[in-house]
Amino acid sequence: MNNIFNYRLDMLEDYFLSIGAKKFNASQVYDWLYKKRVFDFAKMTNLKKELIAKLNATFTNDFLEIVRKQTDKDTSKYLFKLKDGNFVESVLMYHDYGISICVSSQVGCNMGCAFCESGRLKKVRDLQTYEMVEQILLIEEDIKKRISSVVIMGIGEPFDNYDNVMNFIKIINHDKGIAIGARHITVSTCGIIPKIKMLMAEPLQINLAISLHAPNNELRSKLMKINKVYDINELIATLKEYIAKTNRRVTIEYVTLNGVNDSKECALQLAHLLKGMNAYVNLIPYNETNNIGFKKSSKKTILEFYDVLKKEKINVTIRKEFGSKIDAACGQLRSKEVDA
């Protein structure tokens, strides 16, 4: 049986029409699920008994299970157990501007970035749409508050699970769904070019973030296997196309790794690469993990890197460090669970 949280509103409308019911029944169900947060079909009191019986026979509304929650002052990390026994994580962050959730899109990841804990454990499978939607529903229920933004930067490569991720975005973005504004939704990719091109054609104003992490092919190929498939020049050219077409600014993520990609020379190369582009660089302090040899750059080095970019007139921010005490680096909680 199919989980109800896999369904975009238009899909549910088609379902109701296909059983000879009314299109607006879909809006009614959406209202119960996403506005009133009533998940039991039997309690959807404005639906006819026969429709409730059909819903019960057709859809499940099984939930993932929160099996662990670790909290530091402005961050909570949730470990979810999926129906098949696999684990994924989400991170909840309190900012001055609101509350955000970082969701996972796959169980494990096949991109194999050298510094990343998620990739140490290979991909087991893609997440279904409902497994992403429920990360949000369950956390909102847990904190008794509504969140304001979503970043798809947890475990997995969202563009290696493009269709399910797009369905997820359309459900959470829909006015009748969770209604998170497109400008408050960010998808982060290691740079799968054909999918960036597909996103360009979507009528969605979401934010695109690119994990660049190196300013040249030699270094990027060492850190990120994907660069051997889609190299940095092709990637930057695609981003320029994306910006021209969508008129939207792109975020460039750059994790600073001590002695690896944090030299002034790297900063200068990065500045030249991005010159004139409507992009901004987010410098990310590396979250060290026990299992991988990389170390984070010192504060001084990060500030020097930042200064070089500023001088070159590149928009740049340094990401606030969230959750380093609670293993918030992507994949850390899950890999503890799987190693154990």
Which spans of this chain sit near ligand SAH (rule: CB under 6 A)? 111, 113, 115-117, 153, 157, 188-190, 211, 213, 253, 255, 284, 286-287, 289, 329-330
Q: How far is the CB of 153 from ligand SAH (least distance, A)?
A: 4
Say whether 43 sits in a helix, a strand or coil: helix
Whether 3 contacts 130, CB under 8 Å: yes
Structure token pair of residue 197: 């091109």
Q: How far is the CB of 257 from ligand SAH (least distance, A)?
A: 9
Whether 102 contacts 93, CB under 8 Å: yes
Taking the least distance from each CB to ligand SAH, the nearer of 129 and 289 is 289
Q: What share of the chain is helix, strand, coil (3-state, %, to 5)?
A: 45, 20, 35
**CA–CA gap between residue 185 and residue 95 (Å, rounded):** 15
Q: What is the largest CA-CA distance in the chain?
A: 69
Q: How far is the CB of 113 from ligand SAH (least distance, A)?
A: 6
Q: How far is the CB of 335 from ligand SAH (least distance, A)?
A: 11
**CA–CA gap between residue 215 and residue 236 (Å, rounded):** 11
Taking the least distance from each CB to ligand SAH, the nearer of 76 and 289 is 289
Q: How far is the CB of 154 from ligand SAH (least distance, A)?
A: 6
From 50, 241, 330, 337, active-site residue: 330
330 is catalytic: yes
Strands, DSSP E only, in the chain? 2-3, 59-60, 65-72, 75-81, 87-95, 98-102, 106-107, 125-126, 149-152, 185-189, 207-211, 250-256, 279-285, 315-318
Taking the least distance from each CB to ligand SAH, the nearer of 8 and 120 is 120
Taking the least distance from each CB to ligand SAH, the nearer of 87 and 286 is 286
Taking the least distance from each CB to ligand SAH, the nearer of 3 and 104 is 104
From 50, 65, 89, 140, active-site residue: 89
In what side-by-side order are the strands of the sheet with 315-318?
A: 65-72, 75-81, 87-95, 98-102, 149-152, 185-189, 207-211, 250-256, 279-285, 315-318
Q: Catalytic positions, please?
A: 89, 330
